[in-house]
Structure 1
Amino acid sequence: MLSNKEILKLIKEASTDLHNYKFEKSFETSRNVLHHAIISKDDYLIARSYNNIAANYQGLSEVDKAIIYFKKGLSYANKTNNDTIKNWLNNNLGNLYCFDKNQFNVGLNYYKKALKHSEKINDTTQIYVTKLNITWAYFHIGNFDEGKYYLNFINEYKKRYSKSSTIIAVNMLNGMFYSHKKEFDKANLFFLEAIKLGNNGNEIEDLSYAHEEYAKLLFKTENYKEAYENMAIFNRITSELNDSKKLRRAGLVGINLELDEYKRKVDIIESEKKLQYQNLRKSKIIVVLFIITLCVFLLLFYTLFKSYIFKKRKNEELIIANKELSVAKENAEVASQKKSQFVSTISHELRTPLYGVVGITNMLLDEHKELADSPHLSSLKFSARYLLSLVNDILQINKIEENRIILESKTFNIADEIHMIKNALTFIAKNHDNVIIINIDPEIPEYLIGDKLRLSQVLMNLVGNALKFTKNGKVNINVNLFKVEGKSCFIEFNIEDNGIGIAIEDQDKIFDTFVQIDRKEIDYQGTGLGLAIVKRLLGLFNSTIHLESEKGKGTKFKFVIAFESDAVKTLEIINNIQVELNSEQSFKILVVEDNKINQVIIKKIIEKQNSNCVVANDGYTALEILDKERFDVILMDINMPLINGFETTRKIRQKGIYTPIIALTAFSKEEITEEAISAGIDDIINKPFESELLFKTINYILSKEKECFLN
């Protein structure tokens, strides 16, 4: 075990390697140091280690990982009395949020915290660096008036730091300020000085920024040739830096995984500490609750005794009523089960030929490029996709009604989700000459926890409807922080359009299944299930939807959903996300499938990925083939004659064959998961599927199997 003095020495070595762009060596040293710092339980050394790790990620432009590790370091630094490390970490987070995440207010808040810590210990160097960063941040967003206050400070002290690495940035900031003030001669002198110092020093990134800002000045003064030359230098330096970072990043994958593993161990240790503290509190609470419960129990016992005689009389009446209810319940359950079986069977029978239509269409487009513009082929593909969407909508309604949907808890960024929805609906918007406008409250936390898939379904249906019933107009998506209660953030969503609107007499009908208003006038297409699904999904969120509309003036839908906001839990969810593993490997795959069309499609997909494919028409044929040949993976259809996929899998496992088996089925995943696990199936993919998803699943299962073997 290393002493604290030895650990600190290694931390400084890792920092030196980082400044010399020796990222791999710095990472390796930091990982080793973090391990010993955790064992020594020294919060300052742990914070310093995380600061180095995060700075390496920042140097490699992996911004999100850098933020996670800087925040991790800050959580340990805040447990210490060392204001220097607190200043470093807050200052670094300010840089990332202002310049990489473009969240100025968040970054400014970190800068102000950094200033407080450096002023507390009167560290003039750190005060100077932090105020320089704040000046740059204000100028970056074009707020020169606010930035001037900080520029005056750094100009006052710049002689003291004229030999430091910051002097290039100081000259550049003065150039930016005088360029803004249109004092172009002064600005020109400062920029030339910055470029001169950059060419003589090692601050390559600052030199690139100086060329970029100088090009902007030259453009203002109509010196276009020189402006172009400076932008060319900026682009060349930036390209060289980025290429260098990519090469270094490629060699650090293994180290990154190890660092993540150490971070998870730290989280486990912290969780155990918290659990011990909570157990101690629970013990005290249990004693108090026991006394209260005993008193309540005695009171209840007296009350129950008095009501016993009354209840006895009522029980006789209830017995008769219960018998009648029991019969009615049994009849309802039988009817519900038959309905569920019918929907499941019909969906499977529809999905199987639709998968064939979609797959064959894709094959034709892939093999015959000249048919890419064929209206007949496009119509065929659209019709198949449309029918598939209808089947999925009916299944969705059926699942919600039978309470078979359980909301997930995943971390997500609400702005990212809404912009993805906008991108997905751009085609519909363009077809109707509409504009989608997004307004998101900046007070909403960066990460929320909830079921982002179901939220996306709700928003896709509402925004899609708004675009469909609006032409030459706009659709507004407004998202606001409604209120905060503990760790719950209540988010209000408003979807507003200026389309055809909904008449008052029709507003109560639109949330019913298979309802289409104004279908007689214009063919808007659709199943009439979208808003019915929205209403039922919001019910799962314990939310209700409100409608405001006037015929000819547009429509507004509004609802509020509570999401969890918990930084610790968010970090745990992020840590448990499986890393996607890519592979160029060629596989030998056995396909067990009775449908001839599906055989052709799946075989084409596999052979296109340079893998070998053997097809078995049924389960018994597959068992005979497996007695003679060995495969990397088996793709198993479920609904087959003679012997189904579940029974075939059981017989394969009984033979002692543990080759990974992936079910390819038109059945809903939730319907067969339990039986699939029991039979020995490793994963399930629903038809129709994309080839990318199939090979990602194969890569993941085989890498998981390899990892288990190595362990």
Structure 2
Amino acid sequence: MKRDFLVYFLVFFLCFNVSFSQELSSEDEEALKELYEIVQLNFTAYNYELAIDDAHNLVSRAKELNSHAYAVKGYNILGHIYSDQKDPARARKNYTLGLQYSLESNNDTLLLFSYNNLGNTYSENPETAQKGIEYYEKVIQLAIKMNSPEELIAPKSNIGWTYLDKGEYDRAYPYLKESMALMNKYIDRENENYSEWISQMYMLHGRYYGYKKQFDSSYHYFDQSLLLAESDTLLLPAADAYKAYAEVLASDKKYKSAYEAHKKYSEYNSLLFEREKLREMEAADARFNLSEYQRNLEIAEREQKLQDEIIEKSKEKVIIMVISSIVLILILVFLFKINTDRRSLISELRKKNIQFKEAKEQAENLSLLKTRFFSTVSHEIRTPLYGVIGLTSLLLEDKSLEKHKNDLKSLKFSADYLLALINDVLQMNKMESNEVKLENVSFNLRDLLKSIINSFEFTRIQNKNKIHLQVDPEVPTHIIGDSVRLSQILMNLVGNAMKFTERGDIHIIIKATEKSNNKVSIYFEIRDNGPGIPESKRKVIFEEFSQLENSNYNYQGTGLGLPIVKKLLKLFNSKIKLESKEGKGSTFSFNIKFGIDHSKKAILKEVEVDADLSLNSKKRILIVDDNRINQVVTKRILEKKDFECEVAGDGASAIEIVKNNHFDLVLMDVNMPGISGLDATREIRKFNDHLPVLALTAVEVEEIREEIQAAGMSGIIIKPYDVQQFYQIIYKNLSIATVPEKA
């Protein structure tokens, strides 16, 4: 309420000085004016409900008639009402709407009015006081533009007052000084309409000089303020002035005078309180019947004395009851607010849960579609790759094509790289879908490392690199863990080193760091002396599809190798470490804990199986595949080992051929039109349960393993395959099939 006198002055000034840019008929103008006057009457009489309804009607009617001026007035009256009811949020909302129509009206006076109202509502809150000052500054700019110096008084006074309340006295004084000078020049001090305003201006100066310890000047301004307030019975300015005056006297150590001033402040504050109560009582008194009042008057007088005694005795109890009632009301309001907010939050949470559930289902569907897409694409790409890699392997063994050997090696390398690319993408997709699980099997770590090194022989020769393997003797020969995932980690790291190193050295170092009876912690290190990795790229390279420039072949790969390594190591509860210097190479290292296999069982070597089988008669193999290129490749690979082969192009033909002929083994493609390889195997098992049937498929083994086993198949060969590994699986299943015959 501290700036009401400035607001009322501005309202008074604008009511008589706003010029309307809209052209209205005299009837419409009169109707809007009459409705606006009704709103003002209800507002000044504190009939807020009626005032709000009428103000909304005024705004609606003004919008219909395209009268921006009355729309602004309606919104600003609503803002004043909500401001009086201590609802700053609604007040600001209506003042802001009024500002929008002021901007549309191109009327600077209306705009000045709206800016000042927003300045008032924001400056009352310490947290938004600076925003209020910004609105006051806009009022000042408009007043200067309009060449209306008298309209500078209100915003400058408000800015000064705001800075005083913030304790920024030095920033407040220039505004107070300017507003006082303008007031002396443009305001008629004899006009009673401005007495309240002038009294408050003196009070503000008194506060400033009191802070500066210039007590004589401060007392002078307080005397002027109080003289004017008390002579015109201005309760609010008098109360404000005595309160501030008491604080200044106390700071000057005039405690007795300060006490008297504070006492006067309490008197005026009580009168203000009583005045507000009287307004409410006037409305209530009208409801009483005068005759009833006269009849009860004597009874009331007799009881008054007794009540005075009771009230005097129970004064403390009354105070306690009042305080308790207020606290209880506040608690009830607080609980009501909490309950309302809780219901709102629960409703919002239910909506969010529904949205989350829909989003989750959509994400799951998209993930399933992505998995199916990758599976389908991998199968479609792997099938022709089978032909490319198989035919290339066969051509490499043809001595008549010796002069094309390098070209064929390059072709096979490209096909192998494409296969590795497909495997990387599928591997990343599996890990994102949480489909990768570690297995615990026994394997020979040294044999695994040699196989990995041999697989990079072509790349090593092409880049003219040397690979150095160093295995600590303390590392057990056979360990228990997931050899497939470990192989993928090492293949990616060695391949990364090989790709970025030319005419250099690549070191693979294996050490046992911790060892017990059943467990061993093994340290793996892959070091190269290539170009190294810049500091800025060391985190980026572990992100999916990130790449570094490679000068060797202008070939950067997919950018999935190191992210796959990072995610696979997470399954092992391990982390990748990187040390690198530009120009000196890079070192990748990690630790994994494995079990130790102490068993010493003899293992039948595949070479021995091959030798044993070579002594027997020729074996007959049925190749079932709907792809003619794959038929040719598989048949030629088998015939190189002197197998007799027959081909079936579909599942139905395969069933009839097996039923009417003797075969030692069947290679069955899984995905075929008509009767699939799985269905064909089920039919064969009805009349032959010992014939080895191997699944020949380009589908990922994890996706189809259970179906293959359920159909009665003996094993799986993934296309495209390594020829030597292909032979080993064939020999192994043929040897198993011959055991009953030998028995």
Q: Deviations over 1:128-166 (max 9, x none)?
A: xxxxxxxxxxxxxxxxxxxxxxxxxxxxxxxxxxxxxxx
Deviation at 1:672, TM superposition (A): 1.0
Letter in 2 for 1:500: P
1:360 is the counterpart of 2:391 = yes
Q: State the number of aligned residues.
A: 396
- The match for 1:517 among 517, 540, 548 is 548
SS class of match (1:548): strand
Aligned to 1:350: 381
Aligned to 1:636: 668
More deviation in 598-607 or 412-421? 412-421
Deviation at 1:530, TM superposition (A): 1.6
1:646 is the counterpart of 2:678 = yes
Letter in 2 for 1:570: H
1:675 is the counterpart of 2:707 = yes
Q: How does 1:197-596 map to 2 (within 5 A)?
A: 323-367=354-398, 369-484=400-515, 487-519=518-550, 523-565=554-596, 569-571=597-599, 575=601, 580=606, 581-582=609-610, 583-584=613-614, 585=616, 586-596=618-628
Distance 1:577 1:317 in 2: 66
Deviation at 1:403, TM superposition (A): 2.7
Deviation at 1:433, TM superposition (A): 4.1
SS class of match (1:492): strand
Letter in 1 for 2:372: Q
Distance 1:338 1:625, change over 3 A: same
Letter in 2 for 1:698: I
Letter in 1 for 2:677: G
Contact kept? 2:521, 2:594, Cα under 8 Å: yes
1:685 is the counterpart of 2:721 = no
SS class of match (1:493): strand
Distance 1:425 1:384, change over 3 A: closer
Deviation at 1:317, TM superposition (A): 9.2
Deviation at 1:316, TM superposition (A): 9.9
Deviation at 1:673, TM superposition (A): 1.0
SS class of match (2:489): helix
Contact kept? 1:500, 1:552, Cα under 8 Å: yes
Distance 2:533 2:386 in 1: 37
Distance 1:616 1:688, change over 3 A: same
SS class of match (1:673): helix
Aligned to 1:616: 648
Q: Which runs of 5+ in 1 are unaligned?
A: 1-312
Letter in 1 for 2:708: A
Q: Deviations over 1:306-350 (max 9, x none)?
A: xxxxxxx99999877655443333222211111111111111111
Contact kept? 1:535, 1:545, Cα under 8 Å: yes
Q: Deviations over 1:576-618 (max 9, x none)?
A: 9566433123112222111111111122223222222221111
More deviation in 584-593 or 663-672? 584-593
SS class of match (2:408): helix
Distance 1:615 1:383, change over 3 A: same
Contact kept? 1:438, 1:478, Cα under 8 Å: yes
1:598 is the counterpart of 2:624 = no
Aligned to 2:321: none
Q: How does 1:106-255 map to 2 (within 5 A)?
A: none
More deviation in 626-635 or 429-438? 429-438
Contact kept? 1:371, 1:377, Cα under 8 Å: no
Distance 1:359 1:497, change over 3 A: closer
Deviation at 1:442, TM superposition (A): 4.0
Distance 2:688 2:478 in 1: 46
Deviation at 1:443, TM superposition (A): 3.9
Distance 1:420 1:614, change over 3 A: closer
Distance 1:362 1:629 in 2: 31
Q: Deviations over 1:351-398 (max 9, x none)?
A: 111111222233334446234535543443332222222112222222
Q: Deviations over 1:61-110 (max 9, x none)?
A: xxxxxxxxxxxxxxxxxxxxxxxxxxxxxxxxxxxxxxxxxxxxxxxxxx
TM-score by length of 2: 0.49
1:698 is the counterpart of 2:712 = no
Letter in 2 for 1:396: Q
Distance 1:394 1:645 in 2: 27
Contact kept? 1:478, 1:493, Cα under 8 Å: yes
Distance 1:600 1:447, change over 3 A: closer
1:662 is the counterpart of 2:690 = no
Letter in 1 for 2:510: V
Aligned to 1:625: 657
Contact kept? 1:365, 1:372, Cα under 8 Å: no
Letter in 1 for 2:631: Q
Distance 1:444 1:371 in 2: 43
Distance 2:626 2:467 in 1: 46
Distance 2:737 2:565 in 1: 40
Distance 2:389 2:553 in 1: 28
Superposed CA RMSD in Å reads: 3.3
Distance 1:423 1:653 in 2: 40
Deviation at 1:517, TM superposition (A): 0.7
Letter in 2 for 1:597: I
Contact kept? 2:621, 2:646, Cα under 8 Å: yes
SS class of match (1:510): helix
SS class of match (2:488): helix
Distance 1:575 1:372, change over 3 A: farther
Q: Deviations over 1:479-517 (max 9, x none)?
A: 333334774322222322232111122111111222221
Distance 2:514 2:645 in 1: 56
Distance 1:658 1:418 in 2: 36
Distance 1:594 1:437, change over 3 A: closer
Distance 1:577 1:642 in 2: 42
Q: Which runs of 5+ in 2 are unaligned?
A: 1-343
Deviation at 1:665, TM superposition (A): 0.9
Distance 1:315 1:704 in 2: 66
SS class of match (2:580): strand
Distance 1:387 1:427, change over 3 A: closer
SS class of match (1:393): helix
More deviation in 670-679 or 648-657? 648-657
Distance 1:446 1:659, change over 3 A: closer
Distance 1:638 1:344 in 2: 14
Q: Deviations over 1:455-495 (max 9, x none)?
A: 23222221232233233433333333333477432222232
Letter in 1 for 2:702: E
Deviation at 1:629, TM superposition (A): 1.9
Aligned to 1:229: none
Distance 1:656 1:431 in 2: 50
Deviation at 1:400, TM superposition (A): 2.4
TM-score by length of 1: 0.51
Distance 1:386 1:673 in 2: 25
Q: How does 1:100-111 map to 2 (within 5 A)?
A: none
Letter in 1 for 2:557: G
Identity of aligned residues (%): 45
